[in-house]
Amino acid sequence: MISLRHIYKSFDTPAGTLAAVNNVSIEIEKGDIYGIIGFSGAGKSTLLRTINLLERPDSGTVIVDGKQLAELSKGQLRQERQSIGMIFQHFHLLNNLTVFDNVAFPLKIAGMNKAERRKGVEECLSILDIADKIDAYPAKLSGGQKQRVAIARSIANHPKVLLCDEPTSSVDPQTTGDILKHLAHINRRLGITIVIVTHEMDVVRAICNKVAVMEHGVIVEDFEMNNSNYVPKSKIASYLFKSENFYAEEVGGSLHG
């Protein structure tokens, strides 16, 4: 479903060129819930954003559902992105629009008529157990409800892939569990392949079937979560497996990012 081959992405900084992603290759199969985990600055969010070319890699190949995205025209890429949903760390809802209009926004852009938009929005809100908020404005919603609206919006176009960039970092632990439950349900019910960036090992334990650990722009190891005999090969993976919340005071710095 997703093939990233020898991805390299750098940024210019006052200290010189920073290789945020350095020769990374991963294969994600259809139906996977694939976790990318690591500390702040590991490059995980940058890698995630190369999948839909929000970050264009300096070199390497991005293939999604058999299509090499860098070879597409602007129009073709815009069309292909409709099949790649994305959830951000912050909700990015339009506060002057109702829940209905927020979820319907990508459907309107896609040219869907009013009746089809209504049906699509109601279906997505029902899946996320938030149909009763269809006429509410974001200011009247809790953090968890806002994130569920954002998820509903991201699946409105029936994407094949859903990219999740720290989707639980802005909510409390109980709400985190609810969001993960809904993501797992979406994966099972709709067959959407999910790629989730996180700094929380509990998130990985809860829903991921495969995990890649990033450090300093590279994948230091990857493994399947159902492999009970797996022995971590890197210090960071060993630390992640031992820590419940995995705050990074011992290794220096915040984990967010």
Domain coordinates of the chain in residue numbers? 1-83+160-257, 87-158
Output the pLDDT for position 241: 62
Let me know: does 187 contact 115? Beta carbons within 8 Å. Answer: no
SS3 72: coil
Single-letter amino acid, residue 154: S
Task: Domain 1-83+160-257: state its class.
Answer: alpha beta
Task: Find the angle CA(241)-CA(245)-CA(247) to the nearest 5 degrees.
Answer: 100
Predicted pLDDT of residue 92: 85
Distance, CA of 47 to CA of 160 (rounded, Å): 18
The answer on pLDDT for 247 being more than 60 is no
- Residue closest to 170 by CA, chosen among 148, 150, 147, 187: 147
- CB of 32 closer than 8 Å to CB of 210: yes
Please give the mean pLDDT across all residues of the chain.
88
- Alpha-carbon distance of 104 to 78, in angstroms, equals 18
User: What global pTM score does this model have?
Assistant: 0.88
Who wins on pLDDT, 218 or 173?
218
β-pairing, 193-198 with 210-215? unpaired
242 versus 55: the higher-pLDDT residue is 55
Q: Give residue-wise pLDDT tens across range 200-236.
A: 888 888 899 999 999 999 999 998 888 777 788 877 7
- Residue 141 in this model has a pLDDT that exceeds 80: yes
